[in-house]
Chain A
């Protein structure tokens, strides 16, 4: 990796670590100072490295500079030192200036603590994801704006408001203790799940950005499994779910960026390594008596990694969706359950069930009914596909619907595409 590639890479991997350690050391109220300090460190690196070339150990160089800048800040800024030093959670004597602890262990603990701070209930879910991308994943404002397909200004405001809120509420940056982990973990897992879905299901951002989001969600989930207190069955189930989903990432879109439906995917593009990893975490998740929605979703995702269209597979998927919906309703689970119902119990029963879902504002409801009526009532199928088309937002969503309509209105063509 040359210098031009290395610096953005290091920014992504090291910025979040130093910011987390600074925040965990000085408190969330100094988040801006922490971010400025780390930005200055990278600025110094950019200037010096472009003149003199890369240092032998760039990461160590960044850490040393960040440590020195912290010392200078404490030395220079009386206000900062006098007001804050007593609060600093360092064990050094009051007379000496503390050294920033950038050990591997402290970086890990600080990042873990920061995950819980970002997922505090005082922050709205949408802002939590932007904040997580910024503080835990090292994404810049522009990168987050690209991921959400929105303007820099929107993201900038969203981030500042969220950080202001964390300061106001004086949210502590600390790892949860074992007794309190349950409740706080639920929120963290929800945020990671949303972050992952943003990457996996987004039809707007380009595939490099989307893969990045998935990878970051997986990295954070992995971080949680590395600590004895946060290594719960649910987080293992969530990580398993992510592995199973991502194993099909490359098969899900074609070279034009259009969605390839599950049944049409090229299984050679599925990743057996990720399926193996998912199976490992699903097994780990099954130790204990806890059954979370992530367990059920991971089990559903597992069955989808098996290509064979067997009765056993669809019956298992149907029962998992039945359980999932009893645990927690969501429109997407309701639609997927109805699809599984058609595979397990037949299309007639699925049509009757679909018509009762009450989701007529949802494009996927209409495309599901289009699919279910195909081969039973062509006029109905066309009607539903047309309504789905009317509700579809992007060309990538419209393309498969147009193909289905083409097949339906041209039955001679259909025989080539059973």
Chain B
């Protein structure tokens, strides 16, 4: 069994496109149902976390810039780690992720974790 990092990306939010508190509340259920479903198969390694929109980028030469980043349209909104036999199974899990649907309409990047060397 391998571990896969699922990275959720969505379009950067403008001030106007930020969800209302009611929308935020309603958005909890699909995520909890999705995570609960993976956990019920004993395939959840870490529910991970959601990320705030703002951030900083540090580059060589003590260059620090503010996010969100003009050069990328999509920002990372959160991550989860799951257990799966292979990419097929991990991708199947990702296909049910709420980030792919409204209001987010984002994407999931599926990456296999390297095994830690003992």
Interface positions of A (Cβ within 8 A of B): 315, 318-319, 321-323, 325-326, 329, 333-334, 337-338, 341, 345, 353, 356-358
Contact = CB atoms under 8 A, between A and B. Distances in A.
Contacts of A358: 41-42
A325 B33 contact: no
Nearest to B34: A322
Interface in B74-117: none
A319 B39 contact: no
Nearest to B47: A326
B42 A322 contact: no
Q: Which residue, A318, A321, A325, has most C-beta atoms of chain B within 10 A?
A: A325
A118 to B, nearest CB: 30
Given A334-B42, A358-B41, 16 more contacts: A318-B36, A319-B36, A321-B36, A323-B32, A325-B40, A325-B44, A326-B44, A326-B47, A329-B39, A334-B39, A334-B40, A334-B41, A337-B36, A353-B37, A357-B41, A358-B42
B29 interface: yes
A42 B42 CA distance: 51
Contacts of B29: 315, 319
Given A318-B33, A319-B29, A345-B33, A326 B41 contact: no
Contacts of A338: 40
A338 B39 CA distance: 11
Contact of B33 (A322, A333, A357): A322
Contacts of B44: 325-326, 329
Contacts of B40: 321, 325, 329, 333-334, 337-338, 353, 357
B5 interface: no
Contacts of B6: none
A356 B89 CA distance: 11
In this complex, which of B35, B42, B44 has the most chain A Cβ atoms within 10 angstroms of its Cβ? B42
Nearest to A333: B40
Nearest to B41: A356
A322 B41 contact: no
Given A356-B41, A358-B42, A326 B33 contact: no
25 contacts: A315-B29, A319-B29, A322-B33, A322-B36, A323-B32, A325-B36, A325-B39, A325-B40, A325-B44, A326-B35, A326-B36, A326-B44, A329-B39, A333-B40, A334-B42, A337-B36, A337-B40, A338-B40, A341-B33, A345-B33, A353-B37, A353-B40, A356-B41, A357-B40, A358-B42
Nearest to A319: B32
- In this complex, which of B32, B33, B40, B41 has the most chain A Cβ atoms within 10 angstroms of its Cβ? B40
Interface string B26-53: 0001001101110111101001000000
A319 B30 CA distance: 10
Nearest to B36: A322
Contacts of B35: 322, 326
Nearest to B92: A356
Nearest to A358: B41
A356 B40 CA distance: 9
A334 B41 CA distance: 7
A28 B44 CA distance: 42
Contacts of A329: 39-40, 42, 44
A300 to B, nearest CB: 13
B44 to A, nearest CB: 6
A356 B47 CA distance: 19
A337 B41 CA distance: 11
